[in-house]
């Protein structure tokens, strides 16, 4: 690309507004890529945890199953198991106060749902940044384009004639701002969509695990995926 139309030329010849728009777009790009990379690593980690969570149901008792889930406090499957166990124990120990208003099934359901909601909020943090960058970056770049064209028209008016040397440079610099806005927005939109799909997969597995935990704490066994009438028993801790 000719250096006359390069980004460095925009920076050296642009005014304060042009430089501010360029810096804003570059900053938005850096933030969006940080969010994309960070959240992608999180999704990959949780997918790996979800694949290993099935080992929980092949344990001899609850304590052994909890040990198989590891000691990571950020493991949402481990958090669900602990929350379900504590909710069941709390209901059992305070039965004289709770049995008239809330049965064990509803109590465990609420406890598991609260844990899932907290994890969902943590999992989706940062996505609003990508959505904001993807929706606003093209318009910020377009603002830089309009501003550059405005200055090109001023230069033409001052010179009194629209020669190619008066128009080509400013117009080329203005179009670079549009391209920069699109270059910032497109990865943000694609990253947002990919992360939403990945989060849905993780949450689907987490909800299935919570359903099995609910059945285990209420009935003493996990509902088998093979038949609704079959259960997979596991000794309690």
pLDDT at 169 over 60: yes
pLDDT exceeding 90 applies to what percent of the chain? 31
Q: Give the whole-angstrom CA distance, residue 204 versus residue 53.
A: 13
pLDDT at 228 over 50: no
Q: Give the whole-angstrom CA distance, residue 157 versus residue 222.
A: 79
Does the reported pTM lie above 0.85?
no
Nearest Cα residue to 134 out of 35, 202, 38: 35
Query: Predicted confidence band at 189 (pLDDT cuts at 50, 70, 90)?
Result: very high
Query: Predicted confidence band at 167 (pLDDT cuts at 50, 70, 90)?
Result: low
CB environment 93-126: b (16+ within 10 A), e (fewer)? eeeeebeeeeebeebbbebbeebbeebbeebeeb
Q: Give the whole-angstrom CA distance, residue 209 versus residue 157.
A: 70
Q: Give the whole-angstrom CA distance, residue 180 versus residue 141.
A: 6
């Amino acid at each position: 690309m000719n250096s006359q139309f390069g980004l460095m030329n925009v920076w050296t010849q642009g005014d304060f507004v042009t430089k501010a728009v360029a810096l804003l777009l570059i900053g938005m790009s850096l933030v969006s890529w940080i969010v994309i990379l960070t959240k992608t690593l999180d999704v990959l980690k949780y997918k790996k945890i979800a694949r290993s969570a099935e080992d929980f149901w092949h344990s001899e008792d609850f304590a052994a199953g909890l040990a198989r889930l590891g000691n990571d406090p950020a493991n949402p499957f481990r958090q669900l198991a602990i929350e379900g166990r504590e909710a069941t124990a709390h209901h059992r120990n305070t039965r004289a106060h709770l049995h008239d208003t809330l049965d064990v099934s509803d109590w465990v359901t609420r406890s598991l749902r609260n844990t899932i909601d907290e994890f969902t909020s943590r999992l989706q943090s940062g996505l609003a940044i990508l959505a904001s960058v993807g929706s606003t970056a093209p318009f910020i770049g377009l603002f830089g384009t309009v501003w550059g064209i405005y200055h090109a028209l001023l230069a033409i008016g001052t010179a009194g004639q629209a020669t190619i040397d008066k128009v080509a440079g400013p117009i080329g610099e203005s179009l670079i701002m549009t391209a920069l806005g699109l270059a910032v927005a497109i990865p943000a939109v694609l990253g947002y969509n990919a992360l939403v799909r990945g989060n849905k997969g993780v949450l689907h597995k987490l909800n299935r695990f919570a359903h099995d935990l609910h059945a285990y704490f209420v009935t003493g066994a996990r509902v088998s995926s093979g038949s609704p009438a079959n259960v997979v028993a596991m000794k309690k801790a």
